[in-house]
Chain A
Amino acid sequence: MIRSIIKTIDLLNKSVGHAFAWCIVILTLGVSYEVFVRYALRDPTSWAFDLSYILYGALFLMAGAYTLSRGGHVRADIFYRRWPARTQAALEFVLYILFFFPGVLALVIAGWGYGHESFVIREVSVNSPVGVPIWPLKMLIPAAGVLLTLQGIAECLRCVLCLREGAWPARLHDVEELESQLIQSHSSGAQS
């Protein structure tokens, strides 16, 4: 039961994170196109600037929960990594309640007010006469908050499992940094 909840949330955030990650490709192409038409054709676009921060903002904001599900948010773990798994889990459970949910719930509730206000007036960007709509970007703030809250619940459930079983449950398979791939394949190669 607990495992399937964790898995569902992990999968949800993985898919959302992966989907928004592709923004980087559009961002690269869009900005490159702008530079090209500005220099080669002397005809700059009126939308590229707005497009660039919208894609960047959506990219990092919506990848937040995905990054959390990969344990990718930076932490100062010089003491943490030396503790036994149960100690880690107990501490982390308490810290999630005290130092995680207040922040992300504020993101959901205050972000909803902020995004809704923008939606009501169908807010557009003032940077260019084209009027690129920016209310969808503001609406992403509460959405990211909801995803983070869900992932926080999954992480708490992980702590519960770890407290019960004495070892951290495995995470879903996903792409890893090159250094972790190399170090892992090196150490498994050395053992065999």
Chain B
Amino acid sequence: MSNPQLALLMLGLFIFIIMLGFPIAFTLMAMAVAFGFYAYFTPDQAFFDNRVFYLFTQNTFSVMNSDILVAIPLFLFMGYMIERSNILDKLFLSLQVAFRRVPGAMAIAALVTCALFATATGIVGAVVTLMGLLAFPAMLKANYDQKISAGVICAGGTLGILIPPSIMLIVYGATAGVSVVKLYAAALIPGFLLAGLYMAYVITIAITRPKLMPKLPREQADMGFIEVLLLLLKAFLPLAVLIMSVLGAILFGLATPSEAAAIGALGSVVLAIAYRAMSWGKLREAVYLTARTSAMVCYLFVGSWTFSSIFSYLGGEGMIKDFVLGLDLNMVTFLMLSQLIIFLLGWPLEWSEIIIIFVPIFLPLLPHFGVDPIFFGILIALNLQTSFLTPPMAMSAYYLKGVAPPHVLLASIFKGCLPFVSMVFVAMALIYVFPQLVSWLPEVLYSR
């Protein structure tokens, strides 16, 4: 068997094994070592002198002293602390009052709450379940349509992996070797664009079909301007300031992403204390969960860096390149094909595996088609929103189902997500037609 064929076997076997449900990080490690041992095999050499062992430990250590990945546990810690700071109910209430004159007020308030909270925590599951317990019953009680309410919460909560400072973009930056700072700058406008599209959709429905989102009763809507301002000042402002200072420090080059993340983590602890939500038990929970989630993400890197170097050493990368170039694609068809593949991978897999393991296969092809890796990363970040919203994986929908009243069917949650999924495609088409949406901010900030 020739080496490139072996590489193909390696990839095929890998996909088969992970589809059996075995932990992915260890599958990558074991297969990298086994195939690497064969690839680097030299007769008359002691077993452990095989180069693969050195490569493996060297790669492991590279993951351990990566100055980009340091930001991951820090942002996770920040997220877990904010999750536990009892801020969400106040935030939702204040926004609900603030938006009371807008059509579909509760849905808009829920959307903004989800987006802001998800941006701050970066953890989708917590936002969706918390909002599913808080906003979802409130919306149903106000006779809001079940599907739209569900869609708003699922789609809004998922925005957290896109809008900077998001962990997904750090992972993409480390995988593709592009600057996280530039990725953040590039993702900002597309993130707001998608949030804006969601909002426009909700308002359009609220105006055209007011039955689906009835106006709030009078007494609830009545509140003075000063009172509203005070509410916002207490609940909305601190979190918004925290996010903006973390993001601002990164974008204006005052601090590296990991330094800003540390400040953000410290800020989240202060926030929790200020909202009287701090306790020994909550700190412990946040600390332990940070360790587990960091290990989950970083072990994927440990496995995949060696796996992909063995894969390309065997000639797998070259073979895929030849194959794709042989398809005679142009930039548009290449982008469509690659995004379609990533969309399909999003059905059974989560974003971390897709970015760490499958995106490296596309990366060497980008220069051939003249695609900027940052632009490609933003397309992927948008695209992966759908993996949380489309069955069978649809993590967001399952989280919501887990806390929804029993009469809410999973199918109607899925149906509620669909319009938002189509908004994601609209956003992807828009940034393809107007690439300035991605490139403008990084150029303004960093072209000197």
Contacts and interface: CB of A to CB of B under 8 A. Distances in A.
Interface in A57-104: 57, 59-61, 63-64, 66-68, 70, 72-81, 88, 91-92, 95, 98-104
Residue picked from B254, B290, B349, most chain A C-beta under 10 Å? B290
A67 B296 contact: yes
Residue picked from A18, A81, A106, most chain B C-beta under 10 Å? A106
B178 interface: no
Interface in B411-446: none
B442 to A, nearest CB: 23
B25 A73 contact: yes
A53 B403 contact: no
B265 A17 contact: no
Interface in A95-117: 95, 98-104, 106-107, 109-111, 113-114
Identify whether the interface residues of A are mostly helix, strand, loop, or mixed.
helix
A110 B66 CA distance: 20
A120 interface: no
Contact of B74 (A27, A70, A179): A27
A45 interface: no
Given A28-B74, A60-B295, A179-B128, A106 B403 contact: no
Interface string B374-399: 00000000000000000011000001
A103 B74 contact: no
Identify whether the interface residues of B are mostly helix, strand, loop, or mixed.
helix
A101 to B, nearest CB: 7
A39 B259 CA distance: 12
A72 B259 contact: no
A106 B292 contact: no
Contacts, number: 245
Contacts of A59: 73, 291, 294
A25 B266 CA distance: 9
Contacts of A178: 83-84, 125-126, 129-130
Contacts of B128: 179
Contacts of A101: 30
B288 A53 contact: no
B84 A52 contact: no
B22 A95 contact: yes
A110 B291 contact: no
Contact of A18 (B27, B288, B403): B288
Interface string B320-351: 00000000000000000000000000011110
Interface residues of A, number: 74
Interface string B259-294: 100110110010000000000000011011111111
A29 interface: yes
Interface string B28-66: 111111100000000000001000111011101101111
B370 interface: no
Nearest to B301: A60
B353 interface: yes
Given A53-B67, A74-B296, A24 B74 contact: yes
6 contacts: A21-B291, A102-B33, A103-B33, A106-B52, A114-B54, A186-B403
Given A182-B403, A183-B403, 6 more contacts: A24-B77, A35-B255, A59-B291, A75-B21, A106-B53, A182-B402
**Sorted from nearest, which 3 A-B pairs have the closest CB atoms?**
A80-B21, A103-B29, A57-B64
